[in-house]
Structure 1
């Protein structure tokens, strides 16, 4: 067959696009398919103990029991009766076995300024508790510290707490696999670069592998969403610290307050919050950096518990529908609705997702002809449902006809998966 273009044209195009090819391969590798927690629980730095997760699980179950049980609570927050009946035993098992998926020990706003001696002691004690829980197998899958910000007033204290915590863990047996480090109140790229430098220096000082210390960036200042130069600063984060940024976590109340939004109207569903999160979402799409929504400070306790549970369940569902599979929880009584809303979300979409995936290799079957991008989304949906416990591995294999490795490959075709997620 005859073609008209000389070979030099293709060579010229390859040369022109070489930098684009490198950028797409390195900066936009896609999600790696590993587990992402559905929430992050924040507790004050001086309150953590090795048995904290089980204590929160017991308190969560007791709170649900006060509402008539998990199935009754699910019905009250708007879950369909058939789904409520299906998820109630799954949520009960979850709260008994793994009530916390991610724990962040807070030495920032929740802890405050108590002087260096007190904070030093509390940070080391927290690390000792993490090491003990990890050794005993009772630690959450993801666990770590939020230290003070790299703003001038708190920078030295933040760096010292980070150093003490990581060093104490190394000295007491090593870092947990799911170690999470959270850098709050980021305003500039320079602060992200400084944190990456601190991580590199710690790795070298403690003999850790290069890249072992990754960290989350909290998006809670307007300057990170829109910089002084008119550019979305957050879009450059992944590129100034390659491989270091694990996630972006939205800070509902700091961000809202910085915009002058009155306290009664501060919420993770405020239009200003939605704008910031949409910028975050676009900024890290394809980079492998995970997203987390913020928290609700309306706690389900006392006479207003029922209304607060309905609000929390609705906000959790809303975040999931908008592509934020993770959020913050601040109280044990929020755990029942965190898992009820999350499990209901995955169970509601399960029949359609599994049915469409069943026909993924047969494009003549089924009523919907799915594009590869939709197949990736369907497989990712099922994987996240399995990873959090809303869908069992047996159900996934039975109803999709695909094992977890195949689902992982479909969800993340640019990655190599050697183990079941």
Structure 2
């Protein structure tokens, strides 16, 4: 005799609350486009034409020094640098800026430049600022004042606006920052929830807390729905764990550990991940520039292969190696990913037994390739036989 409905309902009743908590904590992937990078520019270097300038400087470097790319890939990279060189930009009032006496004026001027970028249609897909950390009372006060001035100058929240919150060590810092953003929204008359932020993971305490627990889940919970990203800080983190200068790089296993903790902690939450930066800049003569591009290219590819689809760029010349690596990666995957997804859609034999989770990964990869310009929607539709709306449905089905 099989169990009857009332018996099953009685046995499983207490799981309803568990289901609700899990659904709230793990709503699935965040929809929409994720930038392939974040360009950090010191606030003192911001101008009314910064996004365009970065593209022009990158194109000039490409033309001057060349790069060993196929004709097709080189053309795609150059087209990207001309049309949309910067996908995400952070106006930096922290490490890359220092503490000049002109910070009030710089905050007003940089915010005005951001407004101008949008008015002139040269604004990146997303943008924002990085404030000073909450490490000490003096830094907290300065960071809050800068943010207040910056937002007041904006008057309205621009599309894709996000704030970077650096050097986080405790959930209380995140909680207070989220409360601060609510107060600022109310004062400015902005819609609730219009201010979001990313937590910069660059301290040991943001990986493992004082009790020996993984720290990120508590950090994300403290910020609630305002937390939209986790950004890895390469050099602060590697210094914090005691690595020497020669070992402080993205490919170190200490960074792999931190990134894996970020991945496990953020999986299913809708909080996006970004890798850190490469401090080998493409400057100097051709041999030096090409060497720097090869290093950066390799690190970007490594990040992509580890599931980090965004990273930091610190110099206009790095846009060349960024897009060369990103476009090359997605174009190499395009044919095989499209074939597997088409076979999954048709339930045909492809030599592989793919599951819905794999269809989600295949769809996500193809959609990312279109978002960044590595492939066109027509190319993906032709290769898969599927409209992009079908790919988005596969993505939602697997993550929802």
| Corresponding residue for residue 326 of structure 1 | 310
Q: Secondary structure at the match of 1:36?
A: coil
- Contact map agreement 1:107 1:147 (CA 8 A) in 2: yes
| Corresponding residue for residue 158 of structure 2 | 176
Q: Secondary structure at the match of 1:241?
A: helix
The counterpart of 1:410, out of the listed 381, 394, 399, is: 394
| Corresponding residue for residue 30 of structure 1 | 28
| Corresponding residue for residue 367 of structure 1 | 351
1:415 offset after TM fit, Å? Answer: 7.0
| Corresponding residue for residue 81 of structure 1 | none
Q: Secondary structure at the match of 1:144?
A: strand
- Gap runs ≥5 in structure 2: none
1:147-206 Cα distance to aligned partner (Å, 9 max, x none):
001112400111111111112112xxx211110100000001111101110111111112
1:19 offset after TM fit, Å? Answer: 2.3
Measure, in 1, the Cα distance between the counterparts of 2:11 and 2:308. 38
| Corresponding residue for residue 234 of structure 1 | 216
Q: Secondary structure at the match of 1:10?
A: helix
The counterpart of 2:61, out of the listed 49, 63, 85, is: 63
- Contact map agreement 2:201 2:233 (CA 8 A) in 1: yes
1:89 offset after TM fit, Å? Answer: 1.4
1:403 offset after TM fit, Å? Answer: 1.5
1:236 offset after TM fit, Å? Answer: 2.0
1:359 offset after TM fit, Å? Answer: 2.0
- Contact map agreement 1:32 1:412 (CA 8 A) in 2: no
| Corresponding residue for residue 317 of structure 1 | 301
Measure, in 2, the Cα distance between the counterparts of 1:278 and 1:412. 24
- Contact map agreement 2:157 2:194 (CA 8 A) in 1: no
| Corresponding residue for residue 221 of structure 1 | 203
1:290 offset after TM fit, Å? Answer: 0.4
Report matched runs for 1:200-279 at 5 Å. Answer: 200-279=182-261
Measure, in 2, the Cα distance between the counterparts of 1:13 and 1:180. 45
1:123-149 Cα distance to aligned partner (Å, 9 max, x none):
011011101111221111111100001
- Contact map agreement 1:397 1:403 (CA 8 A) in 2: yes
Does 2:140 align with 1:148?
no
Measure, in 1, the Cα distance between the counterparts of 2:37 and 2:11. 45
Measure, in 2, the Cα distance between the counterparts of 1:40 and 1:64. 20
- Contact map agreement 2:59 2:78 (CA 8 A) in 1: yes
Measure, in 2, the Cα distance between the counterparts of 1:133 and 1:376. 35
Measure, in 1, the Cα distance between the counterparts of 2:250 and 2:380. 32
The counterpart of 2:333, out of the listed 349, 358, 368, is: 349
- Contact map agreement 1:235 1:280 (CA 8 A) in 2: no
Pairwise CA RMSD = 1.4
The counterpart of 1:112, out of the listed 75, 82, 98, is: 98
1:414 offset after TM fit, Å? Answer: 6.2
Q: Secondary structure at the match of 2:128?
A: strand
Measure, in 1, the Cα distance between the counterparts of 2:279 and 2:365. 28
- Contact map agreement 1:46 1:122 (CA 8 A) in 2: yes
Q: Secondary structure at the match of 2:94?
A: coil
Q: Flag as ranges the 4+ runs of structure 1 deviating above 3 A.
A: none
1:396 offset after TM fit, Å? Answer: 1.1
- Contact map agreement 1:363 1:369 (CA 8 A) in 2: no
Measure, in 2, the Cα distance between the counterparts of 1:230 and 1:415. 30
- Gap runs ≥5 in structure 1: 76-83, 417-421
- Contact map agreement 1:238 1:287 (CA 8 A) in 2: no
TM-score after normalising by structure 1: 0.92
| Corresponding residue for residue 46 of structure 2 | 48
- Contact map agreement 1:316 1:327 (CA 8 A) in 2: yes
1:311-354 Cα distance to aligned partner (Å, 9 max, x none):
00000000000000000001111110000000000001110001
| Corresponding residue for residue 90 of structure 1 | 76
- Contact map agreement 1:50 1:138 (CA 8 A) in 2: no
Measure, in 1, the Cα distance between the counterparts of 2:158 and 2:398. 27
